[in-house]
Amino acid sequence: PISKAYRRALGGFGTGVALIAADDAQGRSHGMIINSLTSVSLHPPIVLWCLANTSNAFPVFTGCKAFSVNILRSEDEAVAQQFSRKGDRILPPEQICRMETGAPVLDGALASLDCRMRLRQPMGDHEVIYGDVVAYRAEHGVDALGFFRGQYVTLKSGEPGGS
């Protein structure tokens, strides 16, 4: 098992909080919270995120052809808590919309990236998932939800109109 000291060390790296969303084989939309999002390339636009092999959502997110990355607003802590727990991670239809790929996209997210599955790569106890960003949208002047040392925090926008 991973040591507490190692987890504390990693917790010193503050991150944003995003909800990944995809449909399962029956067409139900699932959401899951991550903080492992990385921009890999701007030309072409590619992102990656990491999924634990032990996640009960593993079959959904490794079996999908498309997914969305939804960066949460500072006031979305309840959403983050709900979709970071094990168990039911079904997104209610009234909370989603669709963009180019048809993957579920969280309505009201600070920013959303609509991605086509590009590559999955096993790495340690995780699967690294790469996506080609085919569409996106973003709000400006809005604070983001962050995670630092085991706590949710507000990441200030620094733009006019931000708090």
Supply the DSSP symbol for 35. Answer: S
**How far is the C-alpha of 114 from the C-alpha of 122, rounded, in Å?**
23
- Confidence band of 159 (pLDDT split at 50, 70, 90): low
Mean pLDDT of the chain: 93
* Confidence (pLDDT) at 158: 80
Confidence of residue 160 (pLDDT cuts 50, 70, 90): low
Give the per-residue pLDDT at 132.
98
Nearest CA to 95 among 37, 34, 16, 19? Answer: 19
pLDDT for residue 86: 82
Query: 58: pLDDT confidence band, cut at 50, 70 and 90?
Result: very high
| Residues 70-86: tens digit of each pLDDT | 999 999 999 999 999 88
pLDDT of residue 85: 86
Mean pLDDT of 89-100: 96
Our measurement of the distance from residue 91's CA atom to the centroid of its chain's CA atoms, rounded to an integer in Å, reads: 13
Q: Is 101 exposed, middle or buried (0-12, 13-18, 19+ CB in 10 A)?
A: buried
